[in-house]
Amino acid sequence: MPTFAYRARRPGGEVLSELIEAADRPDAIARLKRQGYFLLSVEQADRSGGGRGASRRVPRGEVAVFTGQLACLVHAGLPLAQALRCLQQQLKRTPLGEVAERLGADVSDSSSLSEAMARWPRVFPRTYTAAIRAGEESGRLAEVMRRLADNLKQEVETRGRVRGALAYPIFLCVLGAATLTVMMTFVIPRFTALFVTMGAELPAPTRILLAFSDVMDRYWPLVLGAVVAGVAAAAWAMKRQAVRTFVDAWVLRLPWVGTILQRLEMARFCRTMAELLNSGVPILSSLQITSGVLSNRQFIAGVERIRGEVARGRELSKGLEHLPIDSPLVFHMAAVGEQSGQLPEMLLEAAEIYEKQCERAIAAWTAMLGPALIVVLGGVIAFVITAILLPVFQASTLAG
């Protein structure tokens, strides 16, 4: 999702210079106006500053290692600019090496680390720079960076486990689609002439197979064009706010899939809030930043409603009822955290629980999906082989 840099005036008169993630510039403007800001400027951050590395992403695992190393150097007492130069020497000729070099130059020119990192939104997301800013203000920069590194490593590990679970089903789908495409466009047409010379009426499965193969052989450019046009139309429609809102609400109501998406968004919400609150970011600012991290519009709208109620003095645990989640776990854990003064810790524990639930659900789904795909592909291939052999057997019977 693109990142936009904005300058805005709060109702109290304070001028902010922050970043926000949104689908496009009108969406960013609409969301900021709903928060009551008077906008001075809104520009896409990816276009500004940052050299070559600003236009491409850096793997989160590399950012985690970079953050952990920088935390160790700062904790050892090295000045920040010198620590960045040390890392730049280690990371020469890599995107992060360029980032470290530019960060060191900006810090040497009297910029704070958070301000320098904010110029690289594709490398350091908004939650990251907000936590760094809070660490600078509280004098706990090394501690905050260590916590950020741990959270990034946990995020990378979770994504790796999910991708690993989905790799086998995706491989089966791609392999099956490629096999059927080759058979329909190259193999089956070779049998057409043979079947025509038989003269007898072909069995129904063979006629169906030949008709489908004929369409694929003659009109495959049209079929491919239709698929590409459909994908392009869907991508264009998803950029429209009304369509995206409808789709986001619809997918959350899907059986099983909706439950997993709810828990993934809830885990992202809880982990981001815990990270920001642990770093010393005020709760209202944490909610504002978190709403820009979420991807589902229903959750984003819920977080904005929570922020409004917290601003009026209501407890966070009560406002969480606005989130479209069917599990009351986070409500109770947040309430316990508020009463015990350990809200970040309880939110982080809730995030880990939701992540484990998602991993188990995805693992169970892929364990069933793999054999199911094998059965389906086996059935399709069996149908193709049967359709080819039936005329042969029929001709042999007639000849006998």
Tell me: the pLDDT tens digits for 85-130? 888 888 877 788 888 888 888 888 878 888 888 888 888 887 788 8
Average of pLDDT values for 12-29?
A: 72
Average of pLDDT values for 351-362?
A: 87
pLDDT of residue 15: 64
- Give the model's confidence band at 398: pLDDT under 50 very low, under 70 low, under 90 confident, else very high: low
Domain that holds residue 15: 1-48
Taking the alpha carbons at both ends of the chain, their separation in whole angstroms is: 68
pLDDT of residue 346: 92
Strand partners, 15: 9
Q: Indicate if 315 and 182 belong to the same structural domain.
A: yes
What dihedral angle (degrees, nearest 10) is formed by the CA atoms of 103, 104, 108, 110?
A: 20
- Domain membership of residue 291 (yes or no) is yes
Instruction: Give the closest residue to 45 by CA, choosing from 19, 77, 81.
Output: 19
H or E, element range at 7: strand 3-9
- Domain membership of residue 94 (yes or no) is no
Comparison of pLDDT for 234 and 12, the residue scoring more = 234
Strand partners, 4: 20, 44
Tell me: the pLDDT tens digits for 189-200? 777 767 766 666
pLDDT of residue 396: 64
- From residue 342, alpha-carbon distances to 192, 285, 286, 378 in Å are 73, 18, 16, 54
Q: What is the CATH number of the domain that holds 248?
A: 1.20.81.30
Q: Indicate if 42 and 179 belong to the same structural domain.
A: no
Q: Are 55 and 36 in contact (CB under 8 A)?
A: no
pLDDT of residue 48: 41
- Give the model's confidence band at 78: pLDDT under 50 very low, under 70 low, under 90 confident, else very high: confident
d(CA 361, CA 346): 23
In terms of Cβ atoms closer than 10 Å to its own Cβ (0-12, 13-18, 19+), residue 119 is buried
Tell me: the pLDDT tens digits for 27-64? 888 888 877 777 777 776 644 444 434 445 688 888 88
Q: State how far Cα 315 lies from the chain centre.
A: 29
Comparison of pLDDT for 352 and 37, the residue scoring more = 352
Comparison of pLDDT for 17 and 187, the residue scoring more = 187
Specify the number of domains making up the chain.
2
- Domain membership of residue 69 (yes or no) is no
Mean pLDDT of the chain: 82
Of 5-14, 19-28, 171-180, 205-214, which range is least confident?
Answer: 5-14
pLDDT of residue 53: 41
- Domain membership of residue 102 (yes or no) is no
Instruction: Give the closest residue to 131 by CA, choosing from 110, 152, 111.
Output: 152
Q: Are 67 and 148 in contact (CB under 8 A)?
A: yes
d(CA 276, CA 130): 7
Q: Indicate if 196 and 329 belong to the same structural domain.
A: yes
